[in-house]
Structure 1
Amino acid sequence: MKVIILAGGNGTRLWPLSRTNYPKQFLKLKDMNKSIFQMTLDRSLKLTALNDIYIITNEKYKFLVMGQIEELGYEASKNNILIEPLGKNTLPAIYYGVKEIQREKDEVVVVFPSDHLIKDEASFTDTIFKGIGLTNNYLVTFGVKPNKPHTGYGYIKPGQVIGEGSKVDEFKEKPEYLSAQLYLEKGYLWNSGMFMFRTDVFAEEIKKYSPIIYNLFNNNDLKDFFEAVPSISIDFGIMEKSQRIAVIPMDVKWSDLGSFDSFYEEFPKDKNGNINFGKDNLVESKNNLIYTDNDKVVALIGVNDLIVIDEKDALLICKKDNAQKVKKVVEKLKSSGDPRLDNHLTTYRPWGSYTILEEGLFYKIKRITVLPDKKLSYQLHHHRSEHWIVVKGTAKVTVEGEEFFVRSGESTYVKTGFKHRLENPGKVNLEVIEVQLGEYLEENDIVRIDDDFGRNSNY
């Protein structure tokens, strides 16, 4: 069995927690030891070996994927991390993965989104294995048994029983509440977005129902394929058209964390229905979700059904039943070019991370964390100088070819235009305060001369 994990989505409906350059699947929320992507990888490893898992993502998430795999103690294989040149929805991405797998032979493949929370993992694994027999003749989807009417999920109507599942009579788009109630009464299932099939059967259905994708892939290189192919979901392109679709019911606690109302359902609540990731300072308030990324005191008095998401550079407050409208805020931020749509104050790189502590017109102050045995690229800047103060660990610094060590409490200075590199030769994280001075302080003022990670962009 092979597994395809889709890890290219940007999860903007969970803004400001999830942002374009560090979306929800890579987040580690408070009290979580692993990211949602890492949990997905762990579940996949109960089905098959690491070398049989293919992760489809894009260039800006490539090193996030590799870093989070390595953090779990595994060695990430670059051959199994497939990079989409452009995001064109799920069907082109999945077909890309299928064609890579078919290079060896036809196989049974399971497709998982990387941003789902699933409990009852033993039951989940058993259900996946039970569906293998259906893949000889069907494309299999997994339908989660609903526990309430939900307007944020699509629905599947099961039909004739076959083996461990049923033929699919109909797919339904996200409904209004009354329709969702009716679907629940009639035994419909939530459409989980998880699939299983044989690669040869999938290719046959692609050729029949999405011939443009089939022909473009077989007659173009990868870049040209993604530029030419339409943006299309697997549901619309194949599942809603094919006559060879089966659904297997899955009785697990599941959420795609698609919005903050889904988010609210997944975490423990106090006796008043509140979820508070910070200190408890709620007075006469019920059914609220409060999340802050630091130790700030958030107090609510006499309010109910609110979502309060407090990040250092952004604050979201909305009624819980308006959580789906976060996408309207995202649209406004996008139209105005606001960088807070894309970036947190902390930015992750393959060598570690940096956090912007303060910035002004001609200066920027960062906290840089370099992981053990990692180093930044050998680089220069045309428009800024940098002053480094080591606060933890020992830094190996290279400036214009000269190497020297800077220890905790010591500092060094890099002039504008000088080639330089920061490296952590130690076994604990290196912490450095960087003060940038100059008339232009953006990340695209980097000229890379040498880079361990083969980067030719600012990611």
Structure 2
Amino acid sequence: MNKIYPVVLCGGVGSRLWPLSRSNSPKQFQQVDPTDVHSFFQATVKRHRGDLFHDPVVSVSTKYLPTVVQQLADMNINASIIAEPVSRNTGPAVLASAFHLNETDPSAVMAVLPSDHVIQGNFNELLARMLPAAMAGRIALFGIEPGYPETGYGYILDGGDHPDHPEAQEVSHFVEKPPLEKAEELIAGKNAYWASGISLFRADVIISEYEKIDPQTYRAVKTAFAKRKTQRTHQTLCGENFARANSGPTEAVIFEKTDQAVLAPTRVDWNDVGAWNAFHTINEKDQNGNVLSGDVICVETSNSYVRGSSSKLIATVGVDNLVVVDTDDALLITTRDNCQKVKSVISTLQDQGRQEVVDHTIQRTSWGQFVRMENGDAYRLNMLKLDPNAVISFDGDMEMHRLFTASEGEALFKSGSVVKRLLPGEVAELRVGESGSLRNRGDGILTILEVQYDRVSEPALAEKASSTSKELRGEGVA
């Protein structure tokens, strides 16, 4: 029996899940629940392991490449990673993965899997049942049996039994995100399914369909793949050619136009977790209908979702239908009915140039932990916590001057011909344009305070660096 290649797509920002999801650390790389070990992405990869599957293929923006590499390493999972230098929606990403698989396995069958969905139930059993249809050249689209008239999903209409594939149904037509009245009509007809974004097909089939239906994207992605750069952990597509592909989802570009699509009715608990109310829906509730996590105390509180952080206690009294989400630097309070409007907060934050829309104060990295402590008009104060034997490198930045002070542990600092040991209280610096590195030489965590200065005139920079160095060492402080 042929095995399936899981193709995991890591696009999207998940702006309605702010403040958990940020532009530099979107929801797929966050934990489903604060107590979970795995992120959405890791849970997706883990779900599709075993005898039915090859190692996964991961399609990801170069922006999130380090996160993907780190999270796969944390799970000790090998994967083929294809990095996209520019975003062109899911279609070109899927096509690039198909070119990759077709090059090494002409009979490859690929399952396209969004990385940010929650699925409860034996979905792999259904993938196995649809495998013969996919091997025969069909494009299997997995439609979720709907539980209510959702206006935020697209729908696939059942066209009746398929004459050649008893495990599949014909596709009648598609309906894209209908208004409530139309959604209620679709549900009442009992032949409509939510479009899950999950599909199964042979790599050569999707390549052929793109060549017929969207030849411009076919040529652009084929050339971008041919000119790719191969690194130790990943392959990077040629950005100049990839940018010429039409930006669009596979569903609209190919699936709605091909005559090879079949419907795979799917009866599992599925949620794309597009807004905070979904977390209340998918999680187990207490006797008052609440879903609580973190350090939380609720009094006379019902039907609410409260997600605490490790930094503070959250207490609610006499509220109903509430959503409270606390992170290291932002707190969201809304009602479950208004969760879809959280995107409007993002627009306001962007207009104000706020950092809270970009990333978290505390970020996990490949070398340890980064903590953003304070920002000024021309400086930034950060804390770097390096794991044992970890190394962090700094490229020559033409706009930034850096000062490092060891606070805990022992560091080895290198910059050009300079090699020095840093013990607590000792200082090193990287001037504008200089590159260097810090290595943790100890068995414990190395803690470094970093001050970043924006580029200024050389005399002012030297004076400021000297003054700051003394302050960090405790000299000249009353």
One fold, TM greater than 0.5? yes
* 1:98 and 2:98 are equivalent in the alignment: yes
In the alignment, what sits opposite 1:306? 322
Asked whether the equivalents of residues 414 and 420 of structure 1 are also in contact (C-alpha less than 8 Å), the reply is no
Contact 1:8 1:61 in 2 (8 A): no
Equivalent residue, structure 2, for 1:211: 215
Task: Write the distance in 2 (CA, Å) between the matches of 1:250 and 1:348.
Answer: 36
Q: What is the match of residue 85 of structure 1?
A: 85
**Could you tell me how far apart the structure 2 residues matched to 1:201 and 1:193 are?**
18
Task: Please give the alpha-carbon distance, in whole angstroms, between the structure 2 residues aligned to 1:180 and 1:167.
Answer: 21
Greater mean alpha carbon deviation, residues 194-203 or residues 304-313: 304-313
Of the three residues 356, 361, 370, the one matched with 1:354 is 370
* Contact 2:145–2:265 under 8 Å retained in 1: yes
What is the CA distance between 1:378 and its match in structure 2? 5.0
Flag the structure with larger Rg.
2
1:388 aligns with 2:388: no
Q: Relative to structure 1, is the Cα distance of residues 167 and 218 closer, same or farther in structure 2, using a 3 angstrom cutoff?
A: same
Question: Are residues 300 and 132 of structure 1, via their aligned partners in 2, closer, same or farther at CA, if it must alter by over 3 Å?
Answer: same
Q: Identity over the aligned pairs, expressed in percent?
A: 29
2:393 pairs with 377, 387, 400, which one? 377
> Quick one: distance in 2 between partners of 1:177 and 1:111?
29
The answer to whether the aligner puts 1:195 opposite 2:196 as a matched pair is no
Greater shift, 217-226 or 280-289, is seen at 217-226
The one-letter amino acid of 1:323's match is C
Contact (CA 8 Å) 1:257, 1:263: kept in 2 or not? yes
Instruction: Provide the residue aligned with 2:68 in structure 1.
Output: 65
Task: Show structure 2 runs of 5+ residues with no match.
Answer: 228-237, 457-478
C-alpha distance in 2, partners of 1:55/1:241?
Answer: 26
Q: Which residue does the alignment assign to 1:17? A: 20
Q: Cα deviations across residues 265-324 of structure 1 (Å, max 9, x unaligned)? A: 122222221222233332322211122323322232332222222223222222212211
- Offset of 1:6 from its aligned partner? 0.5
Pairwise CA RMSD: 2.5
> Could you tell me which residue of structure 2 aligns to residue 55 of structure 1?
58
Give the TM-score taking structure 1 as reference length.
0.86
Deviation at 1:179, TM superposition (A): 3.4
| Secondary structure of residue in 1 paired with 2:333 | strand
Give the distance between the partners of 1:379 and 1:400, measured in 2 at CA.
Answer: 12
TM-score normalised by length of structure 2: 0.83
Q: How does 1:174-193 map to 2 (within 5 A)?
A: 174-185=177-188, 186-193=190-197
User: Which residue number corresponds to residue 450 of structure 1?
Assistant: none
The alpha-carbon deviation at position 22 of structure 1 amounts to 0.6
In structure 2, distance between residues paired with 1:426 and 1:8: 38
2:183 is the alignment partner of 1:168: no
Q: State the match for 1:434 in structure 2.
A: 449
CA distance in structure 1 between the aligned counterparts of 2:363 and 2:376, rounded to whole angstroms: 18
Structure 1 unmatched ranges of 5 or more: 442-459
The C-alpha deviation readout for 1:104-123, integer Å capped at 9, x for no partner, is 22411111111111122xx2
In 2, Cα distance between equivalents of 1:364 and 1:92: 38
What aligned pairs does 1:25-174 form with structure 2 within 5 A after superposition?
Answer: 25-28=28-31, 29-46=33-50, 47-50=52-55, 53-74=56-77, 76=78, 80-104=80-104, 105-120=106-121, 123-135=122-134, 136-162=136-162, 163-174=166-177
Instruction: Give the drift of 1:165.
Output: 1.6
Aligned residue pairs total 430
Aligned to 1:34, the other structure's residue is in SS state: coil
Shift of 1:100: 1.4
Whichever residue aligns with residue 432 of structure 1, its letter is T
> Do the aligned residues in 1 keep the contact of 2:297 with 2:315 (CA within 8 Å)?
yes
Find the aligned partners of 1:362 and 1:223 in 2 and give their Cα distance: 33
Cα deviation, residue 150, structure 1: 2.7
Per the TM alignment, residue 226 of structure 1 is displaced from its structure 2 partner at its CA by 2.3
For 1:71 and 1:184, the matched residues in 2 are separated by 42
